[in-house]
A and B are shown apart, each in its own frame.
Chain A
């Protein structure tokens, strides 16, 4: 059982690593937010699942299990609020962008 938990936690840390590389490499704030939110959220959900498998059906295991939907909804809603705030703050999109439908609607 401990072995399975180790493998799942390792996969989670690997996804976190990809997310942080995205935070460094990508060109503008929208793409950074996109890559980092997806990878880091799934990575931390995976680590919490590892906690549940390691402790089993005890109090700490159940707490790890109910932290997963909590983390999930809070991370997605926070990403949505941040990207909307960034657009209204007036940060330009990078040169590679090809389309912007939101410009006319946000006025």
Chain B
């Protein structure tokens, strides 16, 4: 059972690598930002799988904190894209 879970963990990390490919190769700036957003969501899945695999429960907390920080970061990048100041 644990072996299958480890395989799933490696697949999930490889998918994050796919996002890195889009971050490096993206033809325009918004492509890279979309890839950063998706990367942040995928890391939450990695945290959840690690917490089952090792049995340490505090890793789910790290996932929740990661959701909120990734959301704020993406909103800031989107504000920059639409050409507004940060206090509008």
Chains A, B in direct contact (C-beta < 8 Å): yes
B61 / chain A contacts, CB cutoff of 8 Å: 63
What's the tally of chain A residues with a CB closer than 8 Å to chain B? Answer: 49
In the complex, number of A-B residue pairs with CB atoms less than 8 Å apart? 143
Question: In the complex, what distance in Å separates the CA atom of A59 from the CA atom of B79?
Answer: 36
Chain B minimum-CB-distance residue to A63: B60
Contact B34 A33 (CB under 8 A): yes
What's the tally of chain B residues with a CB closer than 8 Å to chain A? Answer: 46
Contact A63 B64 (CB under 8 A): yes
Chain A minimum-CB-distance residue to B75: A81
Chain A at the B interface: SS class? helix
Contact B34 A44 (CB under 8 A): no
Taking the closest CB of chain A, its distance from the CB of B21, in whole angstroms, is 7
Quick one: given A78-B37, A81-B74, are A13 and B12 in contact (CB under 8 Å)? yes
Quick one: given A51-B52, A70-B67, are A89 and B29 in contact (CB under 8 Å)? yes
B interface list, Cβ under 8 A from A: 1, 4-5, 8, 11-12, 15, 18-19, 21-22, 28-31, 33-35, 37-38, 41-42, 44-45, 48-49, 51-52, 57, 60-61, 63-64, 67-68, 70-71, 74-75, 77-83
